[in-house]
Amino acid sequence: MKLFDVYSLLDMEPVKASGAYLWDKEGVEYLDFYGGHAVISIGHTHPHYVEKITDQLSKIGFYSNAVVNSLQVELAEKLGELSGYPDYELFLCNSGAEANENALKLASFTTGRERVLAMKAAFHGRTSMAVAVTDNPKIQAPVNCTDKVSFVALNDVEALRKELATGEYAAVIIEPIQGVGGIRMASDEFLTVARELCDKTGTMLIMDEVQSGFGRSGKFFAHQWSGVKADIVSMAKGIANGFPVGAIIVSPKIPAKSGMLGTTFGGSHLACAAAIAVADVIKAENLVENARVMGEKIVEAIKGTSGITDIRGRGLMIGIDLSVPQADFRKVLREKYHIMTGLTGKYTLRLLPPLIIGDKEVERFVEAFRATAAEMGM
């Protein structure tokens, strides 16, 4: 049997990782400023993370949601404290797409409505409704196409007002920082108006924090920069540092009913141990603040570099628009300077490093970035 060939792969295979570093099978060290697509939050193979998972696996790794699992309760309490949403309720699943599926389903259950308002350039996943609210027809199969979804431009307040005034929408779903869409930030005004209009029209406000959550923006959730509270927040990626975990947190005004949501694997003992370890480290090592500080240092250090046309983002979720194709720039960074970075679009370099990076890693990246820009004649 062969693998189903759907990924464009780099000619590089990591076989070892620690902190903010990877090593390939030839023993070459790489600085990881990609974090496996914003997944690695507390650094690779963090000792507390490894210990917590190993210990849990030696006891019990899985049993279904038909029995009590006190680790789920512990995780909910810790996330409530860290996130500033202590009165919300936690539902655990397995991925960001699944989290968004459940968020949308719950909004429709609660309001009795069918329609969803999403943002242009949004990405919410590749399954069913998650891909239906993703603004990319290329990844929507005919079965995913629906007339139940409308799109407005991010930060277009008047278009938002016009659509929500109809009272037809179960939910509006927003990434406070669009990742795949180019590190585009929702403005404070836009999020504030969205909250007001949702309250007025009985619409659920869903914040997709799958990529921007868990401290990456310099707040626990990126939408908290605006002071707005969501009805439902979806999350995954950084929640468990590479172990497949997704989740939604749900406003107390939304009642739970037996059987309305469900999952076989979500919230397993092992999954909870991984997520608890991440929560422990984020708190103990003050990683939310570290993300803010290190992100500011990166932006400040490179903003005057020739060939940069724009820099966007918050914390350690940064988009850098270049005057040359990002593929060429990333290749030099990777092959000559051994630094892994991400991308979006033709000209945007995307930085999503582990939240544990310090001055040493920032200095290495900045030096390599400037050298690459000079070598490419930017």
Q: What average pLDDT does range 281-293 have in this prediction?
A: 98
d(CA 368, CA 127): 38
d(CA 354, CA 287): 10
For CATH 3.90.1150.10, list the domain ranges present in the chain: 14-46+286-375
Q: Look up the pTM and report it.
A: 0.97
Identify whether the C-beta of residue 334 lies closer than 8 Å to the C-beta of residue 349. no
- Determine what percent of the chain is predicted with pLDDT higher than 90: 99
Over residues 77-100, the pLDDT tens digits come to 999 999 999 999 999 999 999 999
**Statement: residue 55 has pLDDT above 90:** yes
d(CA 57, CA 90): 23
In the chain, the N- to C-terminal Cα span, in Å, equals 46
Residue 201 CB neighbour total at 10 angstroms: 17
**Left if phi > 0, otherwise alpha if psi is -120 to 50, otherwise beta: which for 237?**
left
Determine the pLDDT at residue 313.
97
d(CA 58, CA 12): 33
pLDDT band, residue 184 (cuts 50/70/90): very high
Of 244, 243, 249, 176, the residue nearest 211 (C-alpha): 176
Q: What average pLDDT does range 262-289 have in this prediction?
A: 98
To the nearest 10°, the Cα dihedral for 49, 96, 174, 350? 60
Within 8 A by CB and 6+ apart from 238, the residues are 38, 39, 40, 41, 213, 214, 215, 216, 278, 355
Of 301, 298, 272, the residue nearest 355 (C-alpha): 298
Determine the pLDDT at residue 43.
98
pLDDT band, residue 264 (cuts 50/70/90): very high
Q: How far is residue 209 CA from its own chain's centroid?
A: 5
Over residues 300-337, the pLDDT tens digits come to 999 989 999 999 999 999 999 999 999 999 999 999 99
Q: DSSP character for 223?
A: G
We find that the CATH architecture of domain 47-284 is 3-Layer(aba) Sandwich (3.40)
Tokens of 366: 């900045």
**Statement: residue 377 has pLDDT above 90:** no
Q: DSSP character for 357?
A: -
Q: What average pLDDT does range 5-23 have in this prediction?
A: 96
Identify whether the C-beta of residue 241 lies closer than 8 Å to the C-beta of residue 41. yes
Find the angle CA(13)-CA(93)-CA(242) to the nearest 5 degrees: 20
pLDDT band, residue 378 (cuts 50/70/90): confident
Q: What average pLDDT does the structure give for the chain?
A: 97
Q: Is the dihedral of CA 324, 327, 331, 337 positive or negative?
A: positive
Identify whether the C-beta of residue 271 lies closer than 8 Å to the C-beta of residue 234. no
d(CA 58, CA 11): 36
CATH 3.90.1150.10 fits 14-46+286-375, yes or no: yes
- Determine what percent of the chain is predicted with pLDDT higher than 70: 100
d(CA 233, CA 206): 6
User: What phi, psi does 347 have (nearest 5°)?
Assistant: -120, 5
For CATH 3.40.640.10, list the domain ranges present in the chain: 47-284
Over residues 200-243, the pLDDT tens digits come to 999 999 999 999 999 999 999 999 999 999 999 999 999 999 99
Determine the pLDDT at residue 239.
98
3-state secondary structure of 6: coil
